[in-house]
Structure 1
Amino acid sequence: MTRAKVLLIGLIVLALGGVGYLGFEALGVRGFSAGIAAQSLLVLIVVVWTGSYLFRVVTGQMTYMNQRRRYREVYDAKEREDLEARFDALPEEEQQALLQRLGLDGDDVRADS
């Protein structure tokens, strides 16, 4: 999140406090009671917002984590394709020698693909 967005969110929360105060006064709540009600509403909003953030952290549903997960899936698929292409480009004897060094036979490798 950029600094501009953080400042904008701060201004929105500040404006919500003022609108809440005016709203409670319009509903007939006067003076300190309207201020306390507006502050209580803002505290509730901040607690719910923070709780949703913590829930996303605990469940691993953060934007950065999702981006990393998607990137890793694409990277692994590309890397596998590249390795398979390099393996297929090897002569048959080198393929067999490599598979023997790895303790595999040709049928195991082709079955996994």
Structure 2
Amino acid sequence: MTRGTSLVTGLIVFLLGGLGYLGFRSIGFEHFSAGIASQAILVLVVLIWIASYLLRAMTGQMTFMEQRRRYRASYAGFTGDILQKRFEMMGPLEQEDLLKEVRQAFPD
């Protein structure tokens, strides 16, 4: 969630509290009771929101984590293609020399 989205979400929650209060007042609740009822509903909404956040965090399905997975997959494919093309552009002797260096650097 971006900073702007979180600010808009906070504003929406704030407005929902006011609308809830007005709604409870319009159906006959007194001032005090309407305030308590709207606060109770907002607390319930926030608790559900926090629970969903914790669930996404524990299962690894956060927005940043998903973006990072997609980026890494596309980056690996992109760089793999580039390296393959560069390797194919080398002459046979250069390819052999490179393979020898790689085998020395990363023995089995």
TM range, normalised to the smaller chain?
0.7 to 0.9
Aligned residue number for residue 27 of structure 1: 27
Aligned residue number for residue 76 of structure 1: 76
Q: Structure 1: where are the runs of 5+ without partners?
A: 104-113
Identify if the C-alpha distance between structure 1 residues 100 and 11 changes in structure 2 by more than 3 Å, giving closer, same or farther.
closer
Instruction: Return the alpha-carbon distance in structure 2 between the equivalents of residues 6 and 90 of structure 1.
Output: 52
- Cα deviations across residues 42-73 of structure 1 (Å, max 9, x unaligned)? 00111111111222222222222121111111
Aligned residue number for residue 94 of structure 2: 94
May I ask how many residue pairs the two structures share in their alignment?
A: 102
Q: Structure 2: where are the runs of 5+ without partners?
A: none
TM-score by length of 1: 0.74
4+ aligned runs moved over 3 Å, structure 1: 4-7, 96-101
- SS of the residue corresponding to residue 75 of structure 1 reads helix
Aligned residue number for residue 18 of structure 1: 18
Instruction: Return the alpha-carbon distance in structure 1 between the equivalents of residues 75 and 43 of structure 2.
Output: 43
Amino acid at match of 1:78: F
Percent sequence identity is 49
